[in-house]
C-alpha cells in the first residue's frame, strides 16, 4: 500500500489550490482507500471491491464526483478540480506501485469493473524499494507544501457572505 505516497501527492498539490486546506487535499489523495476501507467495514468485500474503488474507470468516476462536489460545496471550481486530480493521483500511484510485495505479484488494478484486465507496473514488489519510495514521496510532497507556504504569495482573504 502506497499510503505515504498518496499523502505526499496531497501535500504536493497544495500550491495549485491555495484556498483548499491541505488536510482536504491529503484526504483526497487517499480517497480511494478511505472508500475501500469504509465498504470493507460495512461487510462489502472480495476481489470486486477493488474494481469499485481502485479501477481506472471508477477512479475517474470518483475523481469527477468528489471534485464536482467539493467545488460546489466550497464555491471554488479551481479547488474542486485540484481535489478531483488528487483523487485520481491515487490510481496513477497505484498503477506504478502495484502489485505489492507479498502478494501473488500479478497485476491487480482493474481497468474497468470486475473481470476486466488488470494492470500494474510493480515498483513495490520489493519491500525495501516500497519503503524508500513511499517515505521519499511523502517527504517530497511535504517539501513542496512547505516551500509554497514560505515562498509563494498567499491567497487574498475574502469576507464570508
| Residue range 28-55, pLDDT digits in tens | 999 999 999 999 888 887 767 888 899 9
Q: Is 127 within a domain?
A: yes
d(CA 40, CA 67): 24
Model confidence pLDDT, tens digit, residues 78-127: 999 999 999 999 999 999 998 877 766 888 899 998 889 999 999 988 88
Kindly indicate the confidence band of residue 159, based on its pLDDT and cuts at 50, 70 and 90: low
159 falls within a domain = no
Round to whole Å and give the CA distance between 16 and 12: 8
Range of the domain at 107: 3-41+48-151
Domain-embedded: residue 158: no
Q: For residue 67, is it within any domain?
A: yes
- Record the pTM: 0.90
DSSP state of 116: S
Does 133 map to a domain? yes
Number of domains in the chain: 1
User: What count of residues does the chain have?
Assistant: 161
Contact yes or no for 103/93 (Cβ under 8 A): no
Within-domain flag for 95: yes
Instruction: Answer yes or no: is 34 within a domain.
Output: yes
Cell of 38: 469504509
Residue 161 falls inside a structural domain: no
Amino acid at each position: 500500500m502506497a499510503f505515504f505516497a498518496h499523502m505526499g501527492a496531497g501535500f504536493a498539490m497544495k500550491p495549485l489550490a491555495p484556498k483548499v486546506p491541505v488536510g482536504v487535499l491529503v484526504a483526497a489523495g487517499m480517497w480511494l482507500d478511505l472508500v475501500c476501507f469504509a465498504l470493507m467495514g460495512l461487510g462489502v468485500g472480495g476481489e470486486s471491491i477493488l474494481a469499485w474503488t481502485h479501477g481506472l474507470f471508477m477512479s475517474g468516476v470518483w475523481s469527477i464526483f468528489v471534485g464536482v462536489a467539493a467545488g460546489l460545496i466550497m464555491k471554488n471550481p479551481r479547488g474542486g478540480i485540484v481535489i478531483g486530480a488528487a483523487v485520481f493521483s491515487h490510481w496513477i500511484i497505484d498503477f506504478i506501485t502495484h502489485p505489492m510485495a507479498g502478494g501473488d505479484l500479478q497485476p491487480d488494478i482493474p481497468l474497468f469493473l470486475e473481470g476486466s484486465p488488470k494492470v500494474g507496473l510493480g515498483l513495490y514488489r520489493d519491500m525495501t524499494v516500497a519503503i524508500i519510495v513511499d517515505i521519499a514521496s511523502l517527504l517530497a510532497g511535504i517539501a513542496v507544501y512547505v516551500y509554497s507556504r514560505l515562498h509563494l504569495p498567499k491567497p487574498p482573504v475574502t469576507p464570508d457572505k
